[in-house]
Structure 1
Amino acid sequence: MKIKFFIIAFLLVALQAYSQNWQTDFETSKQLASDENKIIVLVFQGSDWCAPCIKLDREIWSTQEFKDLAEDKFIMLQADFPRRKNNKLSTEQQEHNNQLAEKYNKNGYFPFVVVLNAEGNQLGSLGYEKTTPTKYFEKIVSFEN
């Protein structure tokens, strides 16, 4: 019984170590970016209705290749706009995401990726592209220059 517990605990810790660390608060993201000398990758998505958003998540964000590249370089900030009732965000989180959209995604594009510095100034933007995680990473990094 104890061995099962330790195996399960180890697997949970291992899975947590390999998961993408998504932020949902802009001020926290700016502070982390400043403290860790990273850029912010703000992702506007419709996680339960936007086919290109789902593809971007599956083909780029969720890959181990991208996670490994991004770990030391990016603070990943998610602004999700789900439509299904069972995926509804809290009122506070929805308002927060709406404010981010008013500032950085006025045209309402999905998916829309905005690259920001630690002060919240826009460095560049892009959307879904059929490419490799490494090439997508390099495109994001190119906005720093």
Structure 2
Amino acid sequence: AALKLAGEKQLPVLLNFTGSDWCGWCKLMDRSVFSQTQWQEFARREMVLVTLDFPRNPSIVPAKYVGRNENLRVAYGVEGFPTYMVVDSDGKTVLGKLGAAQEITPAMFIDQLKDLLRFREIEISKRVKTLSPEKGKAYRQAIKAYKDTEAQLMKWLETRPVRNDANLKIYEDYLTRLEAAEKQLGEF
């Protein structure tokens, strides 16, 4: 039902993997972010929310959802709680993953989400429409440069490089390239 709604409204989905009755960080996020008006107004307009609860008390989640929740936890590689997976309206494209923070506010969490959402094709297209054709093309190229560099960094990190001066230089180069791409994106 959530994916159908997300598809109809072209909204991203926030999958909230939580342990509502035992996870201290989950309770902190509920108290500091999700119960706040600023978050609720943003979420109502900008996202489809899905809570996938893994409580210790089995009476909290109906039995028919326990298996579904576990299947989604495994499918998205969730290993700790809370985990907030952000997927596009197709339900397949993972836009990113967020977690909890001790001093988090609704505004901070919203900013983190907006940072992930800016790479949705629908958001890119909206932005391009506000730019001249040349700037629109440059904007798309800047996004591609950022995403390509980020993907290369992730692929390199998956090799679990040995910690040494040469690899530190490679890592710092990736960060420099990401910062440059981020700066370029900020110019649009």
* Fold-level similarity (TM above 0.5): yes
Normalised by the size of structure 1, how large is the TM-score? 0.76
Higher-RCO chain (CA-CA 8 Å, sequence separation at least 6): 1
Please tell me the residue identity of whatever aligns with 1:55: L
Distance 2:53 2:105 in 1: 23
Q: Identity of counterpart residues, as a percentage?
A: 27
Q: Deviations over 1:15-73 (max 9, x none)?
A: xxxxxxxxxxxxx1111111112110001000000000000011001111100111110
Aligned to 1:50: 23
Within the candidate set 69, 75, 78, 1:97 is matched to 69
Distance 2:47 2:18 in 1: 18
Q: Which contiguous aligned blocks of 4+ residues in structure 1 show a shift greater than 3 angstroms?
A: none
* More helix, by proportion: 2
Aligned to 1:111: 82
Matched, 1:77 2:50: yes
Shift of 1:90: 2.1
* Number of residue equivalences: 116
Please tell me the residue identity of whatever aligns with 1:64: T
CA gap 1:118/1:49 in 2 versus in 1, 3 angstroms: same
3-state SS in 2 of match to 1:71: helix
Distance 1:83 1:38 in 2: 31
User: Unmatched 5+ residue regions in structure 2?
Assistant: 120-188
* More strand, by proportion: 1
Normalised by the size of structure 2, how large is the TM-score? 0.59
Distance 2:59 2:4 in 1: 31
- Higher Cα Rg, which structure: 2
Distance 1:141 1:115 in 2: 11
3-state SS in 1 of match to 2:84: strand
Shift of 1:132: 1.5
Aligned to 2:95: 123
